Amino acid sequence: MDEQRITIYTPDSLLIHPLRMVKEMLRDLVGSRELAWRLTVRDLSAQYRQTFLGFLWAIILPLANTLVWVFLSHSGVVNVSETALPYPVYVFTGTMLWAILMDAMNAPLQMVNASKSMLAKINFPREALLVAGIYQTLVNASIKTALLLIVLLVMGIHPGWGLLLYPIGMLSLILVGTVIGLAITPVGMLYNDVGRAVPLLMQFLMYLTPVVFAMPKEGMSATLFKLNPFTPLILTARDWLTGLTPEYLGYFIVINAIAIILLFMLWIVFRLAMPILIERMGS
């Protein structure tokens, strides 16, 4: 028999005992690893068992997107300025990396919403859902990257040693995506509006990020592109992937540092909000 753990539930905010709270957070995070892995295996195997094309779906959407943009720029419907890379490679890597960011962003709300009935009835470490979401994004992002690399090699682009740094770029995308996803989860669970509005906003933001368009050289749009926190993430990851030297490394590091701090704060918000959300969720 293990030692007798004493659990106390009161109406007090958990923030009153910050040390105890942090201790509990770490305990739950460690305690949730195994469950997170189980949930990941469950979701991934269910996801791939019910498709015929399997993991190819990870690449079909970005590929279709690339074809559309190559067609648009080729036919002159939109005018894209010169890029250092061949335009199809530019768009393809851009949309792939953006898709990784989106996956990471959607994961928390999606995991929590899919586990509503479990949340309402069973007390398990809630962190497991977040970690499982990150695991799944990681696996899917790795598959995407592998396919992307094959395409790059076919197109004659050689990544070089920069490829060794690419995992950092991928992790940054997942980190920032998770931070945004975690930020919208508490409100998103109460109001469905959030789940609808955010993709719309992100669609708009994508055009302010060098995903399909090249970095503008001057004007208002140049400033917007430069300020956009997603710009260094996409550019740096793409540069490492395609053998170029990253230009925005400083901003890239700043964004990551801020994201790590935000992640910890939002994790606290998530924990505090969970019981309140569960009582309003019913079962």
Which part of the chain contacts other proteins (CB under 8 A), choosing from 64-72, 134-142, 225-233, 274-282? 274-282
User: Which of 123, 219, 220, 245: binder of other proteins (CB under 8 A)?
Assistant: 123
CB atoms within 10 A of CB 25: 18
In the 8-state DSSP scheme, what is residue 122? -
3-state secondary structure of 278: helix
Note whether 115 binds other proteins by CB under 8 A: yes
* Structural contact between residues 45 and 144, judged by C-beta atoms closer than 8 angstroms: no
Residues 6+ apart with CB under 8 A from 260: 175
User: Which of 156, 220, 245, 280: binder of other proteins (CB under 8 A)?
Assistant: 280
Q: Residue 185, by phi and psi: left (phi above 0), alpha (psi -120 to 50) or beta? A: alpha
Taking the complex as a whole, how short is the minimal distance between the CB of residue 257 and other proteins, in angstroms? 23
Note whether 127 binds other proteins by CB under 8 A: no
Give the nearer residue to other proteins in terms of CB position, either 9 or 52.
9
Question: How would you class 173 by CB atoms within 10 Å of its CB: exposed for 0-12, middle for 13-18, buried for 19 or more?
Answer: buried
Note whether 278 binds other proteins by CB under 8 A: yes
* Structural contact between residues 170 and 253, judged by C-beta atoms closer than 8 angstroms: no
Note whether 272 binds other proteins by CB under 8 A: yes
The residues in 41-80 that bind other proteins, with binding defined as CB under 8 A, are 42-43, 45-46, 49-50
Taking the complex as a whole, how short is the minimal distance between the CB of residue 18 and other proteins, in angstroms? 9
User: Which of 38, 196, 217, 226: binder of other proteins (CB under 8 A)?
Assistant: 38
Give the nearer residue to other proteins in terms of CB position, either 25 or 39.
39
Greatest distance between any 2 Cα atoms in the chain: 73
Taking the complex as a whole, how short is the minimal distance between the CB of residue 141 and other proteins, in angstroms? 22
What is the CA angle 27-28-31, rounded to 5? 85
Q: Enumerate binding residues for other proteins (CB under 8 A).
A: 2, 4-16, 34-35, 38-39, 42-43, 45-46, 49-50, 115, 117-124, 186-187, 190-191, 269, 272-273, 275-280, 283
